[in-house]
Amino acid sequence: MAEPKVVFFNALSDEYRPLILDKAPPGINLITAPIGMDEAKKIELVQDADFLMVFPGKLPDAVMRAAKKCRLIQVLSAAYDEINLKLAKGLGIPVANNGGANSVAVAEHTIMAILAAHRRLVPYANHVKAGGWRASQNRKVDVFEFEGKMLGLLGIGNIAQKVARRARAFDAQVQYFDKYARLSPVQQEALGAKPVSFEELLRTSDVVSIHVPLTKETTHMIGRRELSLMKPNAVIINTARGGIIDEGALFDALQSGTIAAAALDVREHEPPDPNDPLSKLDNVIATPHTAGPTLESFPKRAVNGFANIMRVWNGEPPLWTAQFE
């Protein structure tokens, strides 16, 4: 039986690439290529490919059209927003994500961001690094505990459920809004998470954490109106995709005291302008889209990705596929 040809476009460093390649099963023809390769060379490479694997999830339309034998586009990230899903649907190629392989990493980052925002970790650390000690002689009490706070999760997928479980260890309360999914009563009891409306979540949460994909529907899901509904001491966390928040509205809300703080691992434009005022606010924690990539998450991505490819090769339907709009 012929071996499946898998073309893996990636931007991984020499340190991380083996964490993926070492998990490749025997009996596949795996070809790795830099994601920045000339498009004409990519087209030549994929013409007889059975599968395309990408990390990060960027794939030009012309390359997708050239992959006429392709049976699955396997993305090793959690989202598909950089893949033209409409084109993939037209070509009859399913697109799958990493099946929650980075969910632990993102959940841990989310909890870290919540605690750091509540304790003003970054500004105080920077103050000490700059040679200071006391923030002021008459410092107001502007640090808070997470215990007893209400955590509102926008979305209740793999990552959000792990965040909920970890938040309960801090004796926080948990509620969630998800337009398309609802936990079973057993799951809700296990996680201590109750479903609420979008507006109620915004009004009553001390922390709002975003865990939805970026789609036409969720673009600027959090704008001026939504921010105005939140508590003045509320914190917003975004480890999903930057475009879900209207950054202009967020800047104004943070500067005016409409909400207290934000922790942003993702931005509308990445990288953001070095002079971007949002990143410079004292009540913003900004990290460079690093919630998901950890040393432990890469082998998990690889195992899930290769297993999904072999499922399709063996005639089974793929897992974790995008719902085409």
Which residue ranges form the domains of the chain, and what is each CATH number? 5-101+295-313 (3.40.50.720), 103-286 (3.40.50.720)
Beta bridge partners of 34: 10
Cross-strand pairs, 135: none
268 catalytically annotated: no
**pTM for the full predicted model:** 0.92
Query: Are 52 and 69 within 8 A, CB to CB?
Result: no
> CB-based contacts of 197: which residues, under 8 Å, 6+ apart?
177
241 is catalytic: yes
Whether 270 is a known active-site residue: answer: yes
Report how far residue 306's alpha carbon sits from residue 298's, in angstroms, rounded to the nearest whole number.
12
Tokens 């926008």 found at: 154
Is-contact 111 166, C-beta < 8 A?
yes
The CB density around residue 53, as the number of other CB atoms within 10 Å, is 27
Closest CA relative to residue 247, chosen from 217, 279, 215: 279
Catalytic position from the list 145, 270, 296, 316:
270
Please identify which of the residues 120, 211, 241, 301 carries the catalytic annotation: 241
Closest residue by Cα to residue 117 from 155, 148, 146: 146
Asked if residue 187 lies in contact with residue 168, where contact means CB atoms within 8 angstroms, the answer is no
pLDDT tens, per residue, the chain with 325 residues: 689 999 999 999 998 899 999 999 999 999 999 999 999 999 999 999 999 999 987 899 999 999 999 999 999 998 887 899 999 999 999 999 999 999 999 999 999 999 999 999 999 999 899 998 887 655 666 899 999 999 999 999 999 999 999 999 999 999 999 999 999 999 999 999 999 999 999 999 999 999 999 999 999 999 999 999 999 999 999 999 999 999 999 999 999 999 999 999 999 999 999 999 999 999 999 999 999 999 999 999 999 999 999 999 999 999 999 875 5
- DSSP-derived 3-state class of residue 117: helix
- Catalytic residue of the set 203, 220, 289, 311: 289
3-state helix, strand, coil in the chain (%, to 5): 35, 15, 45
Residue 251's SS3 state is: helix
